[in-house]
Chains A and B, each alone.
Chain A
């Protein structure tokens, strides 16, 4: 039965895409394509949840396969929906449904200016390809759909192609993603060399017999390949270029969902194909992921906090959160290698919970940013302000997303952050001191990241939505249409629900990854509790029950409200101008700007940013330098990775290639001569040495 539903999902996406393509760009196109994707996404969610909760009708996994037909198409239709895949398709489906609803409103903004059929078509195929990547059960299908995903997202990135920067970003994205794909192919081929068959089932069976050195190779290649797609530093440079260039609903999908598909690939490869086992040979894998994750998260958030293009800041933030996911994965692998299974599952739960959370709140934030941009047409927060009064609901949803991503209770970000920290704190059980110390340093970095992340969102939310508008652009702002609000509202409510009732999320993860039932929470009010058997006097290591905490919070709020009412009596509130020290005339020029808000942090981390200040003063009289007419200050931060790592490499490569280019003489004869000489040399070599 469920197989048919799966097929129905695939067909719906295809139908949605094709009908969008075939119909002229109009309102009808928008409705058809996005309602199709909405329906298919909801169906995906339903399938995933039913699979996770109800099981597989007696099998270990759901398979839809035409492989035995041995046609080229057949080798591609080879899908398996098991627990882990179901978890990821759930994430994909959830965010896609919300973004589809949002897109109905958002795409209307493109009507008349651009071809909406292309958008609808690419959108549907993009989501479909992501789902099919997760479902693929052989390496060939995986790579085909991976490539399809990259290509459709490339076209979506350059959708607004008259801006040259968008096209450039798209090209860099295309190159980087293909670089990553090459490494992924390498990883798969290494396993294939052992298993002799491209299907993932055979990969799984032969994974234990891969020679140890090769296992390491499989891991490293997969790490680099999937890491490029996920946005690990230093392979991240495409992310802050590509995500902002795409239309906002696509940015939401790319940041929220596509990065998670890369995580899925990595999780599959590590836990299924690479023959990992509870032995300390694999510790370095975990340490590598942990280190890469820590560095990425710190660098990502540091660049986010000084960024004042709202979409770029969110893109850098995605890098940070992927770093946190990698931290969780790395710790999980480290624990696994030391055979500390419950802790490994804890860390994996933390990482996967964060995967789901990030998808939800990043999608929400990008949709919020998109709403703002669609109304006032600028991306620079330095020119925004006061939007909370004009777009109250968007502001509220953005605030919920901001609180979640900063990791404060009572929303879902806090839960995954709590779990990750508990996993880090439990590292004292690892019997190796160097590893413990590395983890301790890593947790320092993580805490710093979280601190700066909160600061980033104070800046992003505060400068854009609060205080007065800083330019005339904001006068055009008004609330966005209901569809866009609905999409955001769905994700915002998920943030709240998953924050207040983490049981839902944890139980889903537990069933997805086959945790023992002792790790599941029986009722929503149970506490997440970590028990320490070694210390019988005080066995409870940590315990968290958010529903109870919310209740306490609420009652405390009510109590103090009553108390204040009792003591203070009823009060009058007068509305008056902001305190201006008696000078009067507070204008928006006197507000804090985004750059100045993050200036202290910029100063503290000077070594990374290498900020440059250009000061230009104009004087009334050149002889009297005490009376300036105007002073202009320009400050810029530099992107260390582009300057120090990528530009020199690219230049060196171009230099070498220029020299090689001399052999292109333009004469056909020369080329044939090259062929002939090569041929002769080869023949002689074969003859002489055989």
Chain B
């Protein structure tokens, strides 16, 4: 079915602006989380803008490449970044739609994340070191189990909001809050939010799934796969990780806490709201980021073979959400 997009220039600008916001704000989230962890451990910690400085530094450094590796190793950082950043295009951040939604929906976002992860796992194997294989094998298991949890959560969300087109989801969510402020607190969404939160922690490699700050073979998963990278490639990979975190945070707050998003159906708000909405978004994301950081300091990384239990909890939670919807 042909769908002629009837979007004006303003819509495209907003779309690109939203994407850039996510991409640019991403390292800030990482920085905030590190700062919160540091202060709860009674340390001063680095400034919240440190990730930006790190990225700049890494971009300028030369790289060392393993002699065992092949073109996959060199290609992966670009693929990972491009895929993750493209995924950001389809997410409406502070306006309830984005014109890119006609090209891709939530499933495409998940697919792009999967593509990135696939190449990362291959890169881990490419360098012929035990660390890489370690990371890849653990990541294989976790990603295999994250998929069903994620899909059933998407199922629950699409049931409630009528689609996997992210614009549709977010605008339905916004309309629901306009109608009644608490209209979105349904059992389905509560369960879906729990499961989405667990999946978020798993996908971005937070404690208890993975420790992003460690380089011990006992505990690292994602870090093990990118251990060999240096210089610009490492910068791209780190940035892509933060972008993924930012995307998932945006989705979490926009779907489950859509207050403050500018609704496309009310163009008169467009003018002033354009300036306030990003701040509201940043605020919500910060709240969740701080929450995540607190959780990370409170609990320890779980043993690898307990993680399926946690993911099974996520799966059953979203499954219950789906069943609740039908009943």
Chain A positions within 8 Å of B, measured between CB atoms, are 385-386, 388-389, 399, 403, 406-409, 414, 417-418, 421-422, 424-425, 428, 433, 436-437, 440-441, 443-448, 450-452, 454-455, 457-459, 461-463, 466-468, 518-519, 521-523, 526-527, 529-532, 534-535, 537-538, 540-545, 548-549, 552-554, 556-557, 560-561, 564, 567-569, 571-580, 586, 588, 590-592, 596-601, 603-604
Additional pairs, 6, CB under 8 Å, beyond known A447-B152, A538-B171 = A425-B158, A458-B122, A545-B102, A556-B81, A578-B127, A592-B130
B114 to chain A: closest residue by CB: A408
- Out of B83, B158, B228, B319, which one reaches A444, CB within 8 Å? B319
Q: Given the complex of chains A and B, what is the CA–CA distance between A408 and B104 in angstroms?
A: 13
Q: Given the complex of chains A and B, what is the CA–CA distance between A446 and B85 in angstroms?
A: 27
A538-B171, A541-B162, A592-B130 as given contacts; A576 in contact with B64, CB under 8 Å = yes
Q: Is B2's beta carbon under 8 Å from chain A?
A: yes
- Out of A450, A548, A572, which one reaches B103, CB within 8 Å? A548
- Asked if A532 and B162 sit within 8 Å, CB to CB, the answer is yes
Q: Which residues of B contact A548 (CB under 8 A)?
A: 102-104
CB of B83 to closest CB in A, whole Å = 7
- Out of A543, A564, A573, which one reaches B62, CB within 8 Å? A573
- Asked if A451 and B148 sit within 8 Å, CB to CB, the answer is yes
Q: Given the complex of chains A and B, what is the CA–CA distance between A556 and B16 in angstroms?
A: 11
- Asked if A467 and B146 sit within 8 Å, CB to CB, the answer is no
Q: Is B48's beta carbon under 8 Å from chain A?
A: no
Q: Is B310's beta carbon under 8 Å from chain A?
A: no
Q: Which residues of A contact B117 (CB under 8 A)?
A: 454
A407-B111, A571-B231 as given contacts; A545 in contact with B103, CB under 8 Å = yes
Q: Which residues of B contact A552 (CB under 8 A)?
A: 86, 89, 100, 103
CB of A263 to closest CB in B, whole Å = 25
Q: Number of contacts between A and B (CB, 8 Å)? A: 313
Q: Given the complex of chains A and B, what is the CA–CA distance between A580 and B132 in angstroms?
A: 11
- Asked if A523 and B2 sit within 8 Å, CB to CB, the answer is yes
Q: Is B194's beta carbon under 8 Å from chain A?
A: no
28 sampled A-B residue pairs with Cβ under 8 A: A421-B107, A433-B326, A443-B155, A447-B152, A451-B147, A452-B144, A454-B118, A466-B70, A467-B128, A529-B1, A532-B162, A538-B168, A540-B163, A542-B163, A543-B103, A553-B86, A557-B78, A557-B79, A560-B82, A571-B61, A573-B64, A574-B62, A574-B63, A576-B67, A578-B67, A592-B133, A596-B133, A604-B145
Q: Which residues of B contact A521 (CB under 8 A)?
A: 1-2
- Asked if B326 and A458 sit within 8 Å, CB to CB, the answer is no
Q: Is B257's beta carbon under 8 Å from chain A?
A: no
A564-B232, A568-B60, A571-B62 as given contacts; A433 in contact with B147, CB under 8 Å = no
- A interface, by DSSP: helix, strand, loop or mixed? helix
Q: Which residues of A contact B137 (CB under 8 A)?
A: 592, 596-600
Q: Given the complex of chains A and B, what is the CA–CA distance between A263 and B154 in angstroms?
A: 30
B60 to chain A: closest residue by CB: A568
A454-B144, A519-B1, A535-B162 as given contacts; A556 in contact with B128, CB under 8 Å = no
- Asked if B114 and A406 sit within 8 Å, CB to CB, the answer is yes
- Asked if A573 and B145 sit within 8 Å, CB to CB, the answer is no
A466-B72, A531-B1, A586-B129 as given contacts; A543 in contact with B105, CB under 8 Å = yes
- Out of A542, A592, A604, which one reaches B125, CB within 8 Å? A592
A409-B111, A541-B165 as given contacts; A458 in contact with B103, CB under 8 Å = no
CB of B267 to closest CB in A, whole Å = 15
A538-B168, A556-B82 as given contacts; A574 in contact with B64, CB under 8 Å = yes
Residue among B56, B132, B147, B319 with most chain A CB within 10 A: B147
Q: Which residues of B contact A403 (CB under 8 A)?
A: 115, 118
Q: Which residues of A contact B158 (CB under 8 A)?
A: 425, 541
CB of B222 to closest CB in A, whole Å = 14
A577 to chain B: closest residue by CB: B67
- Asked if B308 and A604 sit within 8 Å, CB to CB, the answer is yes
A443-B152, A452-B144, A455-B141 as given contacts; A467 in contact with B78, CB under 8 Å = no
Q: Given the complex of chains A and B, what is the CA–CA distance between A564 and B65 in angstroms?
A: 18
- Asked if A561 and B78 sit within 8 Å, CB to CB, the answer is yes
- Asked if B129 and A542 sit within 8 Å, CB to CB, the answer is no
Q: Which residues of B contact A599 (CB under 8 A)?
A: 137
Q: Which residues of A contact B118 (CB under 8 A)?
A: 403, 406, 408, 454, 457-458
A428 to chain B: closest residue by CB: B159
- Asked if B65 and A440 sit within 8 Å, CB to CB, the answer is no
Chain B positions within 8 Å of A, measured between CB atoms, are 1-3, 56, 59-72, 78-79, 81-83, 85-86, 89, 100-105, 107-108, 111-112, 114-115, 117-118, 121-122, 124-134, 136-138, 140-141, 143-148, 150-152, 154-155, 158-159, 161-165, 167-168, 171-172, 175, 227-228, 231-232, 235-236, 265, 304-305, 308, 315, 319, 322-323, 325-327
Q: Given the complex of chains A and B, what is the CA–CA distance between A87 and B66 in angstroms?
A: 48
- Asked if A564 and B59 sit within 8 Å, CB to CB, the answer is yes
Q: Which residues of A contact B104 (CB under 8 A)?
A: 543-545, 548-549
Residue among B104, B146, B231, B304 with most chain A CB within 10 A: B104
- Out of B56, B83, B162, which one reaches A538, CB within 8 Å? B162
B127 to chain A: closest residue by CB: A578
Q: Given the complex of chains A and B, what is the CA–CA distance between A403 and B114 in angstroms?
A: 10
A458-B125, A560-B236 as given contacts; A576 in contact with B65, CB under 8 Å = yes
A604 to chain B: closest residue by CB: B308
- Asked if A600 and B89 sit within 8 Å, CB to CB, the answer is no
A-B pairs, 10 with minimum CB distance:
A592-B133, A451-B147, A462-B125, A447-B151, A600-B141, A451-B144, A467-B128, A455-B140, A568-B59, A447-B148
Q: Which residues of B contact A463 (CB under 8 A)?
A: 125
B144 to chain A: closest residue by CB: A451
CB of A448 to closest CB in B, whole Å = 4
CB of A661 to closest CB in B, whole Å = 49
Q: Given the complex of chains A and B, what is the CA–CA distance between A576 and B108 in angstroms?
A: 37
Q: Given the complex of chains A and B, what is the CA–CA distance between A552 and B89 in angstroms?
A: 9
CB of B144 to closest CB in A, whole Å = 4
Q: Given the complex of chains A and B, what is the CA–CA distance between A504 and B162 in angstroms?
A: 28
- Asked if B103 and A575 sit within 8 Å, CB to CB, the answer is no
Q: Which residues of B contact A424 (CB under 8 A)?
A: 155
A567-B60, A591-B128, A592-B133 as given contacts; A451 in contact with B152, CB under 8 Å = no
Q: Which residues of B contact A553 (CB under 8 A)?
A: 82-83, 86
- Asked if A444 and B133 sit within 8 Å, CB to CB, the answer is no
Q: Given the complex of chains A and B, what is the CA–CA distance between A452 and B143 in angstroms?
A: 8
- Asked if B101 and A440 sit within 8 Å, CB to CB, the answer is no
Residue among B108, B140, B164 with most chain A CB within 10 A: B140
Q: Given the complex of chains A and B, what is the CA–CA distance between A548 and B325 in angstroms?
A: 34
Residue among A385, A424, A428, A572 with most chain B CB within 10 A: A428
